[in-house]
Structure 1
């Protein structure tokens, strides 16, 4: 797992008994063993978990403080043979004061103690009655359980190359959270020991804080709060184990559970580093002076399963609610982009080819929406169907029906005769059906659209999508070219879902049925004649592979910076019920080969709005020489293929 930068962490919510340190130590030890059996490398417990948080003034009693230290000694002894880092909360005396602390330990040794910086003393909290702030303790040493260890707020820990920091409860809720500085000083994982009671509406706010802290620090944030067993005299503790990465929840516990819980997830530390390197505003700062505690543990043989859900369609929203928000965002961005371009060029007309496929249908729907928003006559949308040698009856009928229902100007211009003349002019034998045979048709269609736009004083809308651009599945100076590329940053998997979403919200029954049929029609360039007796000729995904795989490769290569080996690893997890290892490798090899060889098409992309999280525009996210060498990636893929044999 560590080979690909994954770090398995856990948030453990034990049963506690108030002021019964022996019992609490046994519960903590039991959960550490369970976590180690799951392969966890770091296990976090709640605030003051050794004593329980709700001890009140008992927390100052020397008897309880001594019992807590003895309980820690028991935990150290019982877990010394386990390849895991534990983080528990307990009260600790230093000098003449008492501190609310996190104790980090591994292999029977205390590796460091971090005191709480911000001590709440408002509403239901009265911690300042007992505890001092650790704000003034940057670096110190303390003796506990017969060991000397580092003590202070300026400690970071380094577990086998992964840095992590610790803060306690209120520290996250303040404007200047310690974890912010910990992150900019290199901590990729942030741990928070908490004991936060429940009130109506607080949980959603807590979730927003945890996700926000993880997102803005580009880190993983592991939060663990006290649960069952804490005093209910005035408050109730629900038990919250939350593991978040880059603002996205990986795993969370059940609230208000009577059972102990262990929440486990794999954090992608490599992805976090890549994200920080890409975000140039993350790095510039004056680093704080810190102690870095080095921890090296033997490998855990139990760490063999990836405790992390891998989305097979990372571009597609995961719930109807998210799709509703995402769908509205997409159509609004595309509409505003086109509206601005039309007003800037003083164009009252657009020209686009409508094939009856996904991409051109979306572009037509956005054009209609834009014209309506601008108060322009829909007749200014000149939609052209250009049947050729491979045009199917199904796409042809859908194109004509949709144009008619939308009330746009419909034109039909066959490309057959023009292409036949062109074949004769250049000496092409049409029976060869070569790439020249196919590309001539695409270029003929583009020439018609460009010349028609000149004639009408309009703008040619491009319909090609992100997936096609990534693969170079477009004819250079054919469908690769336009005057404004509406769909250039939308991948095929998202367009398909978006089109169905638009159909579900369409009030016109006829248009809705057309959109649904477009979604269900196999994707095809329709450049080769269909064999007699068959409904469809070319099917793109049988030629170049499934778009869901190519979109998956694109996302993890560009957005996460994964190597081919790591892409294969997560793809096997994501698609284990649909594609075997050999199939994934076959199409991955084609993806990388085409991605590098076809960059020249992306280097000359027309303008178009960035809509999704990835754009391949040379003026946007992606800048790459057209003659960049793919050998490094291809060698790795070939090695993986050889291993498969």
Structure 2
């Protein structure tokens, strides 16, 4: 089946484009403000945006002071809302705009939620700050107790009014809060999320003081994570009054604990950021997160769902799709992450060594990436426990496919690290075994390969028994996902240190140790190991003595398989994974190539589960783990047919 014939994927089923906007304002100049708001709506509409969030009191501007008490000014503000409603007719975009509103002789700071010429609902600000530089209670009343109310305006009657509103289009549910609401102990968005809101908008006017922006960013990041939602934050800009305060126009779009997009603050022109929210992924996380579901049982907060329907339209992705979802983009963050992972691995192994009361470890060293990382972890662990490195029994076991490059790297690395190095040539024992089982050694099939892998494991296990030591496994998460390991061969050990680290991340970890925790000679060896093609070296080398068996030529590029693994375990459909991979690897792999390796990934992931069901103990270091005792429980005889494209 060619990829061009597979089911068409419609990204608008799973994604929605959202925008946070900070138009240029003139304080109290409602006509100018409305015109700039409309320009932003048009711009967003042209870019397939379905929700646009404006700052707090964006119709009037936030810094009007006692002018908020002028009835004529308030009346003009309401006329401005009517203007936006008229403008939004036949526009398929939900607009959240800020303006004051009189209700029962009190003034409220509100978010007006508008779609296709109609106000769907009005949400008052729950918490009114009245401390430090803020004195909003001079003008506005708290709206936290307003529920199940309706209000009439001159141009529209029976408008839902309250903090209990969720706006629903299909599986997308929008909730809104205003500025200070985010800063309190339990924000209204927490309750709204528990009642189903998966997209939260915050209309804000947060002034700038030194370091406040970092705290604000952390609030958005953490609240989106706690609520398992997206969070769209729009704050007032530099054209607000600077009599006593300065605003920067901070715009942030977060999703489930991550920041997807953020602007440069202090822009002198109107500013807008756009990102694509993965609604399907958010809903999938909520389905998996039992604590999130159970929390809902403890809240008496009731909501009114206001239903409307977005029109069907084409979708344009406004989101960078990471090629390597396991590896942070930022260099500094990479270092922090690698250091933390390295510490998790070594601390976990230290606990196991202390528990077993063993003073030695046995590890097979091939000169490849995985065994190199495992060895580095063991060395760090022994240093941590003040055990001599000579008690690390490193065994290199050259076979039919071992090249001089990997052999020399293995030998030199062990010598430089000061481990107890041994060498066992497995060729004679493998030839004897071929003879014992009646296998022709000229037939380079799976038997030929697995005999070598199991011979190596037998040597490691027997030496460990002889030396009263622990065999350390070296296989990584990518190999476990694909089953690219020999059952009861390199699949087995007494403790494993790499089982939740994918191949793409293994490279960064070895590079991190090379750069930050190694002397120059060791670093040079590690760099050459990083440059060596990935191979089990089970087939004979070529005529020039180089690696003939390259893993990625056989099973496909690891960067693709790690991408597939991440999104598959997170719950994405095969169609969605193919679509996302096409965006992430555009210009690197063709769609047909991605399709080919995705099909192989799915088949191998299902058929090789039996190896994971019997995998050794080892630490979880990231959000993805395939341990049958932890994150991933899957029958070994499940069919892959429903998951193929």
Give the structure-1-normalised TM-score.
0.97
* 1:157 aligned residue (167, 171, 185): 167
Does the aligned pair in 2 maintain the 1:70–1:145 contact within 8 Å? no
Shift of 1:93: 0.5
Q: Report the equivalent of 2:607.
A: 597
1:81-108 Cα deviation digits (max 9, x unpaired): 2111101000000111110000001110
C-alpha contact 2:403 2:545 (8 A) present in aligned 1: no
Question: What is the match of residue 640 of structure 1?
Answer: none
Give the conservation status (yes or no) of the 8 Å contact 1:211–1:249: yes
Q: Could you list the runs of 5+ residues in structure 2 that have no partner in the other structure?
A: 1-9
Residue 55 of structure 1 and its aligned partner are, at CA, apart by 0.5
Indicate whether 1:395 and 2:423 are aligned.
no
> Are the equivalent residues in 2 in contact too, given 1:4–1:566 (CA < 8 A)?
no
Task: Encode CA deviations 1:511-556: one digit per residue, 9 max, x unaligned.
Answer: 1100000111000000010121252210000010000000000000
The answer on whether the counterparts of 2:472 and 2:497 sit within 8 Å (CA) in structure 1 is yes
CA distance in 1 between partners of 2:163 and 2:448 (Å): 70
For 1:161 and 1:605, the matched residues in 2 are separated by 38
Q: Which moved more, 1:81-90 or 1:318-327?
A: 318-327
**Offset, 1:123:** 1.1
1:112 is aligned to 121
Q: Where do residues 76-225 of structure 1 align in structure 2 (5 Å cutoff)?
A: 76-148=85-157, 149-225=159-235
Give the distance between the partners of 2:240 and 2:519, measured in 1 at CA.
58
1:479 aligns with 2:490: yes
Contact 1:197 1:237 in 2 (8 A): yes
Q: Deviation string for 1:535-592 (max 9, x for gaps)?
A: 221000001000000000000000x210010001111111002011000000000000
Cα RMSD (Å) = 1.0
* Residue number among 306, 313, 316 corresponding to 1:293 in the alignment: 306
In structure 1, what is the Cα distance between the partners aligned to 2:272 and 2:622? 36
Deviation (angstroms), 1:486: 0.9
Deviation at 1:609, TM superposition (A): 1.0
Partner of 1:257: 267
Distance in 2, Cα, partners of 1:151 & 1:582: 52
Q: Can you list the C-alpha shifts for 1:35-74, whole angstroms capped at 9, x where unaligned?
A: 1001100111100001111100101111111101111111
Q: Distance in 1 between matches of 2:643 and 2:13?
A: 16
CA deviations on 1:427-469 (whole Å, 9 max, x unpaired) are 1011111100000000000000101111111111010000000
Equivalence for 1:430: 441
Deviation at 1:3, TM superposition (A): 3.8
Matched residue, 1:492: 503
Distance in 1 (CA, whole Å) between partners of 2:292 and 2:227 is 8
Matched, 1:545 2:532: no
Asked if 1:606 corresponds to 2:620, the answer is: no
Q: In 2, are the aligned partners of 1:403 and 1:410 still within 8 Å (CA)?
A: yes
Query: Contact 1:72/1:145 (CA < 8 Å) preserved in 2?
Result: no
Q: 2: CA distance between counterparts of 1:279 and 1:160?
A: 21
Task: Give 1:619 shift.
Answer: 0.7
How far is 1:161 from its partner?
A: 2.3
Structure 1 residues 99 and 309: CA distance shift in structure 2, 3 A: same
Q: Which residue does the alignment assign to 2:339?
A: 328
Specify every segment of 5 or more residues in structure 1 that has no aligned partner in the other structure, as ranges: 638-645
Q: Which residue of 2 aligns with 1:6?
A: 15
Match of 1:70 among 60, 79, 91: 79
CA separation in 1, counterparts of 2:373 and 2:542?
A: 29
1:23 aligns with 2:32: yes
Which aligned pairs between 1:238-637 and structure 2 lie closer than 5 A? 238-284=248-294, 285-286=296-297, 288-301=301-314, 304-558=315-569, 560-634=570-644, 637=645
Superposed counterparts of 1:20-59, under 5 Å: 20-59=29-68
Note the C-alpha offset of 1:297: 2.4
SS for the counterpart of 1:312 is: coil
Quick check: 1:198–1:237 contact (8 Å CA) kept in 2?
yes
Aligned residues between the structures: 632
Residue aligned with 1:523, SS: coil
SS state of the match for residue 479, structure 1?
Answer: coil
Does the 8 A contact of 1:33 with 1:79 survive in 2?
A: no
Query: In the aligned structure 1, how far is the partner of 2:620 from the partner of 2:379?
Result: 20
Distance in 1 of aligned mates of 2:28 and 2:500:
58
Partner SS state of residue 374, structure 2: helix
Q: Secondary structure at the match of 1:432?
A: coil
Check whether the contact 2:111–2:203 (CA below 8 A) recurs between aligned residues: yes
Q: Work out the CA distance in 2 between the residues paired with 1:190 and 1:152.
A: 16
Asked whether the 8 Å contact 1:165–1:189 carries over to 2, the reply is yes
> Deviation of residue 507 (structure 1)?
4.2
